[in-house]
Chain A
Amino acid sequence: MVWLIPVLPLLGFLLNGLGRKKVSKGLAGIIGSGTVFLSFLISVYVFLSVKGGNTYVAHYFDFIKTDLLKIGFDFQVDQLSSVFLLIITGVGFLIHVYSTAYMHDEEPKDFAKYFAYLNLFVFSMLLLVMGANYVIMFIGWEGVGLCSYLLIGYWFKNSSYNVAAKKAFIMNRIGDLGFLLAVFWLVAKAGSVDFHQVFAGVSKLSTTDITGITLLLFVGAMGKSAQIPLYTWLPDAMAGPTPVSALIHAATMVTAGIYMIARSNILYTMAPVSQTVVAVVGLATAILAATIALKQNDIKKVLAYSTVSQLGYMFLALGVGAYTGAVFHVMTHAFFKALLFLGAGSVIHAMSGEQDIRNMGGLKKYMSVTHLTFLLGCLAIAGMPPFSGFFSKDEILAAAYAKNPVLWGIGVLGAVMTAFYMFRLYAMTFTGKFRGTHEQEHHLHESPKAITIPLIILAILSVVGGLVGIPEVFMHGGHRLEAFLAPVFAQSNAVAAKHHLSHSQEYMLMGISVAAALVALLYAWNKFSQYQKTDKEETGLGKVLENKWYVDELYDSIIVKPVLAIGKYFNNVVEKKGIDGFVNGIGKAVNYSSRQIRLLQSGQVGAYVLMMVLGILILFIVQLFL
């Protein structure tokens, strides 16, 4: 039964992909959304059965079988994967429905292609979270990378979108190499890639091996989940259609790295060095991306940097050992970030493709549903109680405090920036006066139902989604997600030392972070609700932030340009002078020497006979006298 979950989207992909010239738009939408919806229903069933304690590994066939290594095509059905199944198919279904309206202006053929890609993505993502060993996970891991590439470059006629797609793919490949090396290392040292076997035999591995493996796995996670130094592809990935950004680059694919580390939690718990690296990189990314988001003016870019920043928080959680917190934040983030992206898509749709928030403003009047749901999403991400983001972010920050108060302090700084840039975005988009052209103003309208209904559902989830993880201080036994996921993290929890904060400490931490975020929120709202367009250039730090710390330029000058220069050198010098010179030289030498030797073939029989006789004489001399 469980195999149907990934197979259904695959079927949708095949139907839409192969029949893209035949199916009408309506049918393509129904196939695309319907298959994912059926997967969602089965996922709910699986989730309920897992909740009843029915966890297992389903073996289908041997994928690779040698004397030394056996890799089965197995699916892991347990608490962690079932939560991800629900997120992927649930949010995925809503985004499919949303897409039917958002992509309505496309040609039928392209429309079907879009849904085919989207279904292929869902299939790969499901494979990723269901695989019961690192190899099956890696297949899904590569599949989502491919779909990400295809969907970012969906409007492939625009060359800058293609560049963005390539950038995403190449950066992901760098990470994938790390993942692959980690798998090889595992095979060499642990002799298996199977989750159960690896985790059961973890005590036999040396600390060096575990640290190396986990760091390489983290390199994979850096690529997929957009962490320093491989995060720059994610903001550029906003070239894709907005629902794609919501599904792939906010809710699901980018959380694959978090899933992978949460799945390998015992390995990380056994390697404190790796944990520290994960936490520091996560926190640094959270802060860096948040600062960049402060000054971005593209509605999707703000959300993209916000995603990078939130992913950083999840890695911080993983790094301090709060695996439940990370998964919790993945879940709530999937809700509110998908909501925000879809809301942004609704705004872009209404603004006829305009993405610059400086040209928006006052949309509250025209788009009440989008406005309200977007506001709820902003409150959730800003961590306002009792919205979902509050619970998950608070859990992460509390865990960080227990590990090291410095981490907590920096984390709160990031949370404050989050509140600020989200409400800057909100205020500039929805409040104040409209700053666009008259045509745009005339065209403004609320989006159709296929767009608003997913928004409403996601808004409800963003509001109440946090209630599955109410912290202990508010309600005893309120953290149902932790209780549910406990078996997955049991091994780690048994090893790791638990720091418990006193209740008063927890209240204080919450109070500080919420108060600080609230101040930032109100300040941003106040400052930007009367925003006026100015031609004044940003100066100083503002300019640096607007240009994203010049990281792209830095990468360009330290990596891209030298690589291109080396390539040019090899092309012009090594290839032309070296290899071509050698190959052509052989040809020339043969040509020249045969031209000379040819002269011996004069056609004079006498000369031939003379040579023959001389040859015989030489043979005689050699034979008789030497």
Chain B
Amino acid sequence: MEIKWYIGLALALFCTGIVGVLTRRNSIIIFMCIELMLNSVNLLLVAFSKMHAASPVAQSLPNVASDAQIFVFFIMVVAAAEVSVGLAIIVMMYRNIHSVDINFLNRLKN
């Protein structure tokens, strides 16, 4: 499959994420949109890795094909940890103000 399809998909996911972050007020959805953007970038990373692994230069170097594939897993692990922290924050926020609407959180004090 050509690289352009991967890029197109990643772009679509990323734009969806941005639009979601910009337009929604529910913090869980915003959070999900951020994850969407993160994963779209991940997808791009894997796609480009695959593309470069096919080039003649990469053939002569060890590990080039597999490095990015493994790296993506690291990113997913870190993202999972981050998600747990983010969700915890949202839970705390709900406990305090009984809402997950970020527009209620426009003040640093109180």
Contacts and interface: CB of A to CB of B under 8 A. Distances in A.
Contacts of A587: none
Contact of A609 (B22, B105, B108): B22
A598 to B, nearest CB: 14
A613 B18 contact: yes
Interface in B1-49: 18, 21-22, 25
A602 interface: yes
A52 interface: no
Contacts of A613: 18, 22
A435 B49 CA distance: 123
Nearest to A609: B21
A618 to B, nearest CB: 15
Contacts of B21: 609
A604 B106 contact: yes
A606 B25 contact: yes
Contacts of A609: 21-22
B34 to A, nearest CB: 10
A610 B21 CA distance: 9
B107 interface: yes
B58 to A, nearest CB: 27
B60 interface: no
Contact of B22 (A602, A603, A610): A610
Interface string B96-110: 000000110111100
A603 B103 CA distance: 9
A541 interface: no
B39 to A, nearest CB: 18
A618 B102 CA distance: 26
If over half of A's interface residues share one DSSP class (helix, strand or loop), that class is named, otherwise mixed; here it is helix
B102 A606 contact: yes
If over half of B's interface residues share one DSSP class (helix, strand or loop), that class is named, otherwise mixed; here it is helix
A495 interface: no
Interface in A582-621: 602-606, 609-610, 613
A603 B102 CA distance: 10
B18 A603 contact: no
A606 B22 contact: yes
B103 A606 contact: yes
Contacts, number: 20
B106 A602 contact: yes
Nearest to B24: A606
B98 to A, nearest CB: 18
B108 A603 contact: yes
Contacts of B106: 602-605
B22 A605 contact: no
Contacts of B107: 603
Contacts of B22: 606, 609-610, 613
Contacts of A603: 105-108
Given A610-B22, A613-B22, A605 B102 contact: yes
A616 B103 CA distance: 23
Nearest to A610: B22
A604 B103 contact: yes
Nearest to A607: B106
A605 B18 contact: no
A604 B18 CA distance: 16
B86 to A, nearest CB: 14
B41 to A, nearest CB: 13
B97 to A, nearest CB: 14
Nearest to A604: B106
Contacts of B105: 603, 605
A602 B102 CA distance: 13
A605 B33 CA distance: 15
A604 B106 CA distance: 5
Interface in B75-110: 102-103, 105-108
A375 B102 CA distance: 108
Nearest to A617: B18
A127 B21 CA distance: 88
Interface in A523-574: none
A603 B106 CA distance: 4
Contacts of A604: 103, 106
B7 to A, nearest CB: 15
A609 B19 CA distance: 11
Nearest to B34: A609
Nearest to A603: B106
Contacts of B18: 613
A610 B24 CA distance: 12
A126 to B, nearest CB: 76
Interface in A90-148: none
Contacts of A602: 106
Looking at A603, A606, A610, A613, the one whose CB has the most chain B CB atoms below 10 A away is A606
Contacts of B103: 604-606
Contacts of B25: 606
Contacts of A605: 102-103, 105-106
A622 to B, nearest CB: 19
A366 B107 CA distance: 98
A610 B20 CA distance: 11
A600 to B, nearest CB: 13
A603 B108 CA distance: 8
A610 B102 CA distance: 14
A613 B20 CA distance: 12
Nearest to B108: A603
A613 to B, nearest CB: 6
Nearest to B25: A606
B100 to A, nearest CB: 12
A404 B18 CA distance: 106
A619 to B, nearest CB: 15
A465 to B, nearest CB: 94
Contacts of A610: 22
A120 B21 CA distance: 86
A620 to B, nearest CB: 12
A377 B29 CA distance: 114
A21 B1 CA distance: 106
Contacts of A606: 22, 25, 102-103
Given A603-B107, A606-B103, 4 more contacts: A605-B105, A606-B22, A609-B21, A613-B22
- Pairs of residues from A and B, 4 with the lowest C-beta to C-beta distance, nearest first: A603-B106, A605-B102, A604-B106, A609-B21
Interface of B: 18, 21-22, 25, 102-103, 105-108
20 contacts: A602-B106, A603-B105, A603-B106, A603-B107, A603-B108, A604-B103, A604-B106, A605-B102, A605-B103, A605-B105, A605-B106, A606-B22, A606-B25, A606-B102, A606-B103, A609-B21, A609-B22, A610-B22, A613-B18, A613-B22
